[in-house]
A and B are shown apart, each in its own frame.
Chain A
Amino acid sequence: MAAPHADQPSAAAGSARPASGAPLLELTGFSKSFGPFTALDAVSLTLRAGEIHALLGENGAGKSTLIKTMTGVVQRDAGVMRLEGVPVMPRSAGEATAAGLATVYQEVNLAPNLTVAQNLFLGRQPTFLGIVREREMRRRARAVLADFDLDIDVSAPLESYSVAIRHIVAIARAVDQSARVLILDEPTASLDAHEVEVLFAVMRKLAARGIGIIFVTHFLDQVYAICDRITVLRNGRLAGTGTIAEMPRMTLVRTMLGRELAEATAERHERADLSAAPELVRLEGFGKAGYVAPFDLTLRRGAVVGLAGLLGSGRTETARLVFGAERADSGSATLDGRPVALTGPREALTLGFGYCPEERKTEGIVADLTVRENIVLALQARRGVLKPLSRAEQDEIAKRFIRLLDIRPPDPERPIGLLSGGNQQKALLARWLATQPRLLILDEPTRGIDVGAHAEIIALIRTLCAEGMALLVVSSELEEIVTYADEVIVLRDRAHVASLTGAAITVPAILAAIAEDGEATANAA
Chain B
Amino acid sequence: MTVKLPRIGTAQILALAAILAINGFVSPQFFDIRLQDGRLFGSLIDVLNRGAPVAILSLGMVLVIAMRGIDLSVGAVMAICGAIAASLADDHSLVVTLAAALGAGLACGLWNGFLVAVLGIQPIVATLILMVAGRGIAQLITEGRIVTFTDPGLAFLGGGSVLGVPTPVVIALAMLALTLIVVRGTALGLMIEATGGNPRASALAGIGTRLITLAVYMWSGLCAAIAGVVAAADILGADANNAGLWLELDAILAVVIGGTSLFGGRFSVVLAVVGALIIQAMNTGILLSGFPPEMNLVVKAVVVLVVLLAQSPRLASLGLIFSRRRS
Q: CB atoms of A and B under 8 A apart anywhere in the complex?
A: yes
Instruction: Report which A residues bind B (CB closer than 8 A).
Output: 323, 325, 345-346, 348-349, 355, 357, 361-369, 373, 376-378, 380-389, 415, 417-418, 431
The 9 closest A-B pairs by CB, nearest first: A349-B206, A381-B206, A366-B197, A417-B3, A388-B187, A368-B265, A366-B198, A378-B205, A368-B197
- A383:B198 contact, CB within 8 angstroms: no
A520–chain B nearest beta-carbon distance, Å: 33
A204–chain B nearest beta-carbon distance, Å: 34
- B185:A388 contact, CB within 8 angstroms: yes
Residue from A366, A385, A418 in contact with B194 in the complex, judged by beta carbons closer than 8 Å: A366
Question: B184-210 interface mask toward A, CB cutoff 8 Å, 1 = contact, 0 = none?
Answer: 011110110110011011111111100
B266 contacts the other chain (Cβ, under 8 Å)? yes
Query: Contacts A346-B208, A388-B185: A373 and B198 contacting too (C-beta < 8 A)?
Result: no
Residues of B within 8 Å of A431, CB to CB, are 205
- B204:A357 contact, CB within 8 angstroms: yes
- A387:B265 contact, CB within 8 angstroms: no
Closest to B202 in A: A366
B8 contacts the other chain (Cβ, under 8 Å)? no
- A365:B186 contact, CB within 8 angstroms: no
Which residues 188-247 of B sit at the A interface, judged by CB distance below 8 A? 188, 190-191, 193-194, 197-198, 200-208
Residues of B within 8 Å of A373, CB to CB, are 190, 193-194
- A387:B205 contact, CB within 8 angstroms: no
Residues of B within 8 Å of A355, CB to CB, are 204
Question: B1-35 interface mask toward A, CB cutoff 8 Å, 1 = contact, 0 = none?
Answer: 10111000000000000000000000000000000
| Assembly CA distance A380 to B185 (angstroms) | 13
| Assembly CA distance A420 to B100 (angstroms) | 53
- B194:A345 contact, CB within 8 angstroms: no
Which residues 158-199 of B sit at the A interface, judged by CB distance below 8 A? 185-188, 190-191, 193-194, 197-198
Q: List 22 A-B contacts (CB under 8 A).
A: A345-B206, A346-B208, A348-B206, A349-B205, A362-B200, A362-B201, A363-B204, A365-B198, A366-B197, A367-B1, A369-B194, A369-B197, A369-B265, A373-B190, A373-B194, A377-B202, A377-B207, A380-B191, A383-B187, A385-B186, A388-B186, A388-B187
| Assembly CA distance A367 to B3 (angstroms) | 7
- A415:B205 contact, CB within 8 angstroms: no
Q: What interface size band does chain B fall in?
A: 20 to 34
A219–chain B nearest beta-carbon distance, Å: 26
Closest to A325 in B: B204
B173–chain A nearest beta-carbon distance, Å: 23
Closest to A350 in B: B206
What 7 additional pairs, Cβ within 8 angstroms, besides A357-B204, A385-B187, A386-B186?
A: A349-B205, A363-B201, A365-B198, A365-B201, A369-B193, A381-B191, A389-B187
A40–chain B nearest beta-carbon distance, Å: 17
Question: B85-100 interface mask toward A, CB cutoff 8 Å, 1 = contact, 0 = none?
Answer: 0000000000000000
- B191:A385 contact, CB within 8 angstroms: yes
Closest to B321 in A: A75
Residues of A within 8 Å of B204, CB to CB, are 323, 325, 345, 355, 357, 363-364
| Assembly CA distance A361 to B191 (angstroms) | 18
B226–chain A nearest beta-carbon distance, Å: 22
Query: Contacts A325-B204, A345-B204: A367 and B191 contacting too (C-beta < 8 A)?
Result: no
Give chain A's interface secondary structure class.
helix
Residues of B within 8 Å of A363, CB to CB, are 198, 200-201, 204
| Assembly CA distance A473 to B127 (angstroms) | 43
Residues of A within 8 Å of B265, CB to CB, are 366, 368-369
Query: Contacts A365-B198, A366-B194, A368-B266: A377 and B205 contacting too (C-beta < 8 A)?
Result: yes
Residues of A within 8 Å of B206, CB to CB, are 345-346, 348-349, 378, 381-382
Residues of B within 8 Å of A323, CB to CB, are 204
Closest to A414 in B: B5
Residues of B within 8 Å of A415, CB to CB, are 3-5
| Assembly CA distance A386 to B211 (angstroms) | 14
Residue of A362, A385, A415 most packed against chain B (CB within 10 A) = A385
Closest to B198 in A: A366
Query: Contacts A380-B190, A418-B3: A345 and B198 contacting too (C-beta < 8 A)?
Result: no
| Assembly CA distance A180 to B130 (angstroms) | 58
Query: Contacts A348-B206, A363-B200, A377-B194: A368 and B187 contacting too (C-beta < 8 A)?
Result: no
Closest to A370 in B: B6
Query: Contacts A362-B198, A366-B197, A368-B193: A385 and B188 contacting too (C-beta < 8 A)?
Result: yes
Closest to A384 in B: B187
| Assembly CA distance A325 to B188 (angstroms) | 22
Residue from A345, A383, A384, A417 in contact with B205 in the complex, judged by beta carbons closer than 8 Å: A345
